[in-house]
């Protein structure tokens, strides 16, 4: 029972797209399992030549896996791929390239310590011709308005520029199909708009087909011709973009009527967030950073004179494009980073930086950006993970008390509603949402006066996102000073009382939630004073 292409077309008749008889790409009944998890369940997708096709879904809906199948990075268990009406086997990335499929990955596939032109020719065959490669980078850059210096090292470029390189790398091969995976997550508002106009040019001028993967409703509505919506590994709806709206899409994507602002945050619709600012409370300053400076090992500046303060009961949102010092800020408050200058004060007294455990002892709890790298130990049990930062609670100077360990774990599992068969279950077996709950539970159980939440909902589904959002709010109501570091503007607007913008390792502007003006915020995030 495959989805017959004719039905597809009948349903979407009336769009501006040319009425092509043969779809450019067609995926038929694709299924892929990873162990017991079904990433793609009988998925069919049909994309017309020259259209921008949106693939909408929450994190974990199977969008990325589907596209990895199309680019040969993942081989499906069953199903068929058709290109221009012919059956094709895509078993490795080389084949995909040969078929004219190019993909801009969410985490760029660039080699940082190579030059732009070297990256542009990476993965091709034949002799390396430096001058030719440089020329091509410039030509493609000019044609699409993606100017970048071919001799620059990728490491020295901003994330926006890196994406240009990634696009140039794809476009120079004149692909028939261009896939972009969450391309705007690292871009400012202005850069996103620029990207969409490039995509439009690519489709109209060269009849390239574009698939845009996103979990943000706004950009799907803004940039696509048609949209396919996935949930839980299956296609749940197909729409013409012109004939739908944010509410309709959100319902299809979440599977129920989304609650007001929490879901708006998860699905990336900013309209719902523009009104409604909550006033900040006037508590004592709990966390104060004064002119902090730090450099990376290779001499690049990480933080350059950053100052901020957070009051008790307040949520300060740090907005900014990824790679502008957010990671360093999180590391600093986890005692992972030593400073070249400046001070960190918690509750009015200075805390030494870079000294293991000092921040934690001073009352700073951290939900780190990458929970797998620094939030938890995947091969230890849930109970053990729950006490990692707070061993005094369950042990004397030598021995850990298994009884206390279990009791404490049981209490926290109940309090934080963590879905886990037993406290002894290895962390690795938990879903992302539950892993994040464990991290949050552990940090809050230590009764911090300051909570740092870095990208707290990254990679979580809507339910878990709602939970985290509510918990962070609760923390602030309980009088904790919350520093929310996020690259998702929606998340900041949902939660923060006050918004500060980070750019190149410093705070470049600040406004209260009630005064937020998206245009101005966007300019600040792009580094232009406003």
Tell me the β-bridge partners of 315.
Answer: 482
Judged by CB under 8 A, the residue of 111, 350, 429, 518 near another protein is 111
> Are the CB atoms for 285 and 309 separated by under 8 Å?
yes
Smallest separation (angstroms) from another protein to the CB of 128:
5
Candidates 428, 386, 418; CA nearest to 404 is: 386
Stretch of 100-108, 243-251, 271-279, 342-350 lying at the interface with another protein (CB under 8 A) = 100-108
- E strand spans, 312-396: 315-319, 341-346, 349-350, 364-367
For another protein, which stretch binds (CB under 8 A), given 46-54, 105-113, 375-383, 495-503?
Answer: 105-113
Among 38, 88, 100, 108, binds another protein (CB under 8 A): 108
Given 10, 297, 398, 403, the residue binding another protein (CB under 8 A) = 297
- Written as six digits, the tokens of 168 are 């140039």
Instruction: List, in order, residues 6 or more apart from 235 with CB less than 8 Å away.
Output: 43, 44, 45, 228, 229
Q: Which of 32, 48, 105, 239 binds another protein (CB under 8 A)?
A: 105
Measured CA to CA in angstroms, residue 454 lies from 26, 318, 345 at distances of: 39, 9, 19
Is residue 131 within the footprint of another protein (CB under 8 A)?
A: no
Residue 126 in contact with another protein, rule: CB under 8 A: yes
Q: In the bound complex, what is the minimum distance in angstroms from residue 211's beta carbon to another protein? A: 17
Give me the residues paired with residue 485 across strands. 318, 454
366 phi and psi angles, rounded to 5 deg: -130, 125
Determine if 93 is a binding residue for another protein (CB under 8 A): yes
Please report whether residue 110 would count as binding another protein according to CB under 8 A.
yes
List Cβ neighbours of 374 (8 Å cut-off, separation of 6 or more). 334, 336, 368
- Rule CB under 8 A: choose which of 122, 147, 274, 391 binds another protein: 122
- Stretches 79-87, 125-133, 378-386, 418-426: which one binds another protein (CB under 8 A)? 125-133
From the list 93-101, 253-261, 390-398, 415-423, the region that binds another protein by CB under 8 A is 93-101
**Binding test (CB under 8 A) with another protein, winner from 11, 87, 113, 404:** 113
Contact status: 485 vs another protein (CB under 8 A): no
Nearest by Cα to 240 from 27, 61, 10, 5: 10
Is residue 117 helix, strand or coil? Answer: helix
CB 471 within 8 A of CB 291: no
125 binds another protein (CB under 8 A): yes
Count of residues in the chain: 530
- Which of 265, 222, 216 has its CA nearest to residue 57? 216
d(CA 500, CA 250): 29
In the bound complex, what is the minimum distance in angstroms from residue 484's beta carbon to another protein? 26
- Contact flags string 45-84 toward another protein, x per CB under 8 A: ----------------------------xx----------
In terms of CB distance, is 76 or 317 closer to another protein?
76
Residues that bind another protein (CB under 8 A): 73-74, 92-94, 96-97, 105, 107-114, 118, 121-128, 297-299
């Amino acid at each position: 029972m495959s989805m017959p292409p004719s039905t597809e077309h009948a349903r979407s008749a009336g769009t501006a797209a040319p009425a092509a008889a043969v779809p450019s790409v067609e995926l038929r009944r694709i299924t892929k399992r990873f162990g017991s998890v079904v990433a793609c369940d009988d998925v069919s997708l049909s994309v017309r030549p020259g259209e921008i096709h949106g693939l909408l879904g929450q994190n974990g809906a199977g969008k990325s896996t589907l596209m990895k199948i199309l680019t040969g990075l993942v081989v499906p268990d069953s199903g068929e791929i058709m290109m221009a009406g012919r059956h094709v086997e895509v078993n490795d990335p080389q084949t995909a390239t040969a078929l004219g499929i190019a993909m801009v990955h969410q985490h760029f596939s660039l080699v940082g310590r190579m030059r732009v032109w070297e990256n542009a020719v990476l993965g091709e065959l034949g002799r390396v011709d430096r001058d030719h490669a440089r020329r091509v980078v410039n030509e493609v850059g000019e044609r699409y308005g993606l100017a970048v210096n071919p001799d620059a090292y990728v490491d020295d470029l901003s994330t926006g520029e890196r994406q240009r390189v990634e696009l140039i790398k794809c476009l120079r091969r004149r692909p028939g199909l261009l896939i972009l995976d969450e391309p705007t997550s690292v871009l400012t508002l202005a850069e996103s708009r620029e990207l969409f106009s490039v995509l439009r040019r690519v489709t109209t001028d060269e009849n390239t087909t574009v698939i845009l993967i996103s979990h943000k409703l706004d950009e799907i509505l803004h940039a696509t011709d048609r949209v396919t919506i996935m949930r839980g590994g299956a296609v749940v709806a197909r729409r013409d973009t012109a004939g739908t709206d944010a509410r309709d899409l959100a319902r299809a994507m979440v599977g129920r009527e989304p609650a007001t602002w929490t879901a708006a945050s998860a699905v990336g619709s900013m309209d719902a967030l523009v009104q409604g600012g909550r006033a900040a409370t006037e508590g004592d300053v709990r966390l104060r950073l004064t002119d902090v400076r730090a450099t990376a090992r290779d001499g690049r500046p990480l933080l350059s004179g950053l100052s901020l303060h957070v009051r008790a009961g307040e949520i300060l949102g740090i907005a900014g494009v990824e790679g502008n010092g957010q990671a360093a800020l999180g590391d600093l408050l986890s005692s992972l980073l030593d400073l070249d200058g400046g001070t960190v004060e918690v509750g009015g007294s200075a805390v030494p930086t870079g000294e293991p455990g000092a921040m934690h002892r001073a009352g700073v709890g951290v939900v780190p950006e990458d929970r797998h790298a620094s939030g938890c130990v995947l091969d230890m049990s849930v109970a053990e993970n729950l006490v990692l930062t707070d061993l005094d609670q369950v042990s004397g100077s030598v021995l850990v008390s298994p009884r206390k360990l279990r009791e404490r774990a049981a209490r926290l599992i109940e309090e934080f509603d963590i879905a886990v068969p037993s406290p002894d279950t290895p962390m690795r077996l938990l879903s992302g949402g539950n892993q994040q709950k464990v991290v949050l539970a552990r940090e809050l159980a230590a009764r911090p006066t300051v909570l740092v939440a870095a990208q707290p909902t990254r990679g979580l589904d809507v339910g878990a996102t709602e939970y985290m959002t509510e918990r962070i709010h609760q923390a602030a109501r309980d009088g904790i000073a919350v520093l929310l570091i996020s690259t998702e503007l929606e998340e900041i607007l949902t939660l923060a009382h006050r918004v500060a913008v980070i750019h190149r390792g410093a705070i470049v502007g600040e406004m209260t939630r009630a005064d937020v003006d998206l245009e101005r915020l966007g300019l600040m995030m792009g580094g232009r004073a406003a």
